[in-house]
Amino acid sequence: MTDVVLSTDDLTVLSGPETIELLVDIGPTGTRGSKFFVGIGNPNSDDSLDPLLNDLYVNSAPGSDYGYLYQYVSEPGGDTWVEVLNITPAIYSKIHTVTFASGTDADYGSGTIIVPITDITSVTGLEADNFSVQYSIVNAKPLATSLSLVSVSGTNLVLNLQASEYDGTWAALETEASVHLFVSVVL
């Protein structure tokens, strides 16, 4: 067989197609992809679903598993739904009515808010440092306030507030006041 070598400096294109047709909406049906399901409770106990791998499910039932996102995956022993993440953030927001009373130090009044930790998150074993607390006390007069203590007592988050109000001079806040409270979990 002999080698053929083509050597030319010119290239001539004589013709091309008159039209080019590209069809992108026709063809065999592929795998469905991710489908979202929403239901009540754990999806592993719902036989009415017809999931494919990688489908997603959101639990809308009130309770400890509320707002969990599940994914249908293949595991040894068979395909199953597994928890992927909780789409509801671990936050608590509520207006509390707190009674402030002066103690031994007449410069400020003290009030306490007790929040069950289960109202904030289902995570267990948290310490006081795992909670970020923001608050605002409603009062007609200017206030100087502090969050004097954040502690965990059993299954409760305990918040101690101190406040003084200004009416020409500073005096202990001694009244019932609305406290706007926002607590989030920091891990």
Do 95 and 179 belong together in one domain? yes
Q: Between the CA of residue 124 and those of 24, 118, 130, what are the distances in Å?
A: 52, 9, 11
- The pLDDT tens digits along the chain (187 residues) read 667 666 667 767 677 778 887 777 777 776 766 788 898 988 998 888 889 899 999 988 876 677 889 999 999 999 999 999 888 778 899 999 999 998 776 789 999 999 999 999 878 899 999 999 999 999 999 999 999 999 999 999 999 999 999 999 999 999 999 999 999 998 7
Do 50 and 129 belong together in one domain? no
Number of domains forming the structure of the chain: 2
The CATH number of whichever domain residue 102 belongs to comes to: 2.40.30
List 111's β-bridge partners, or say none: 161
Q: How many CB atoms lie within 10 A of CB 139?
A: 16
Residue 41 lies in a domain: yes
Q: What is the extent of the structural domain holding 179?
A: 91-185
Residue 31 lies in a domain: no
Do 140 and 75 belong together in one domain? no
Do 168 and 139 belong together in one domain? yes
Do 105 and 81 belong together in one domain? no
Q: Give residue for tokens 């009062």.
A: 139
Residue 20 lies in a domain: no
Residue 16 lies in a domain: no
Do 118 and 45 belong together in one domain? no
Rounded distance, CA 82 to CA 68, Å? 10
Do 102 and 153 belong together in one domain? yes
What length is written for the chain?
Answer: 187
Do 95 and 164 belong together in one domain? yes
Residue 15 lies in a domain: no
Specify the pLDDT at position 91: 87
Q: Which of 18, 12, 16, 176 is nearest to 101 (CA)?
A: 176
Quote the tokens at residue 60: 């809308």
Do 103 and 48 belong together in one domain? no
Specify the pLDDT at position 2: 66
Strand 56-59 relative to strand 36-39, pairing: parallel
H/E run at residue 109: strand 109-116
